Amino acid sequence: MKVGFISLGCSKNLIDTEMGIGILKNHDFEIVNNPEEAEMIIVNTCGFIASAKEEAINTILEMAEYKEKNCKYLIAMGCLVKRYKEDLKKSIPEVDLWISIEEYGEFWNKISTLVNKTVETNDYMSYRNRVITTGKKMAYLKIAEGCDNFCTYCAIPYIRGRFESRKIEDIIDEAEKLANSGIEELILIAQDTTKYGIDLYGELKLPELLKKICKIDKIKWVRFLYAYPESITDELINVVRKEDKICKYFDIPIQHFSDEILRRMNRKTTGKDIESIIGKIRREIPDSIIRTSLIVGFPGETEEDFEILRNAVERIKFDRLGCFTYSKEDGTPAAKFENQIHPKTKEKRRNIIMKLQNKISMEKMKARVGETHDVLICDISDDGLFYIGRSYMDSPDTDGVIYVSGVQEDILNKFVKCKIVGFEDYDLFAEMLKQKM
């Protein structure tokens, strides 16, 4: 049977999709990219915020249209299913099977029953059976599941459960397997990577894990995302500084700078704490890239609170920044807070932050012209004029890219040295140099 997967939401969700693909390939299903060819379509949904839920429902409905053609079975899985399974069953009868997150252990048995294969097995979604969908050289590596932070605006703990680290030896085993398959960049992810190990070992183990991964010969780049500021220790900063394979890139979701808003969000740091941590990173690792995400329009956010945030963005000058308007989510404490902010005010504040960040970004990119960087080439532009790559400064899907011109050979999926010669919006332009890594 031909099956097509659509994976929505974050990279953590993508890994679940990759494990699902692995199980079906093991049972001789053929994976296809065109929904018109698929006899079975599986949508892995996101249910994090309102816009993600809307996208998930629209995607399911769009895929349901193919049931009048070649598609025999439509399946939905993931976070949205976890949150609203019974309601979804009633409102979208075109879906033949709903698989919630806690049912992933029964993923294959549920599908085999649906397609009238009567033999049940012990197959389950496993990191060992993943089919990497992010190219030949880069893969995500999930080091923990769930979250214990219980930020008042966030539904993740209610969807994914409590924070649960994987064992170091299991992670290293998967990392080595990925390296042996040709992967050269590993991106460590969890809802809060810096908390890794605290539940299993009673202490923060991310520094130790990073050092062990760096010992894998075939791995060239290692980066980690979602590093909460309160757990960025001196030990972690030192490991990033000393290990050549670790990209000098810190993704620190701070959300705000007003102490009052941070308190109401149930965040564990103050604005002063955050600025101190960023200052320490930049002193210890001068070429480090600092990325963050912000939320504007949180309930009770005053003009004064917003000005504290805007001034901090202008003062700190983040290398990368994403800004989101607060989304009122069912079941979260903040959904019941008074003084909800008007949507127009939220959008206005977001636009102010992004306009400021665009100016900062342009200044920083202009300063990069003339620099030389190692670039991983990941793609070719649609017009065929450029190779498209990333440096240590760029995380996939969230940051800009580097367009490389003047290449006389095939460099796809290779690391090459490039000189930055220009910029536009959030992207850089470069020329490849003769010498390679």
Q: What is the pLDDT of residues 75-119, one digit of tens each?
A: 999 999 998 999 999 999 999 999 999 999 889 989 988 987 655
HSE (side-chain half, CA atoms, 13 Å) at 148: 12
State the pLDDT at residue 299. 97
Q: Would you place residue 50 in the very low, low, confident or very high pLDDT band (cuts 50, 70, 90)? A: confident
Distance between CA atoms of 245 and 248, rounded to whole angstroms? 9
Least Cα distance to 277 among 396, 349, 194 occurs for: 194
Would you put residue 171 in left (φ > 0), alpha (ψ -120 to 50) or beta?
Answer: alpha
Mean pLDDT of the chain: 94
DSSP string of 131-197? Answer: ---S-SSEEEEE-EES-S---TT--HHHHH-S-EEPPHHHHHHHHHHHHHTT--EEEEE-SSGGGTT
pLDDT of residue 124 exceeding 80, the answer is no
Give the closest residue to 227 by CA, choosing from 218, 239, 214: 239
Residue 320 has pLDDT above 70, yes or no: yes
Number of helices (H), then strands (E), in the chain: 13, 18
What is the predicted pLDDT for the residue at 437? 45
> pLDDT tens digit string along 392-428?
999 999 999 999 998 878 899 999 999 999 999 889 9
> Residue 125: its pLDDT value, please?
77
- Phi–psi pair at 275, nearest 5 degrees: -65, -35
Q: Which amino acid is at 174?
A: E
Confidence of residue 435 (pLDDT cuts 50, 70, 90): low
Domains of the chain: 2-127 (3.40.50.12160), 133-367 (3.80.30.20), 369-436 (2.40.50.140)
pLDDT tens-digit readout, 275-298 = 999 999 999 999 999 999 999 999
Strand-pair partners of 402: 389, 428
The tokens for 101 are 């997150």
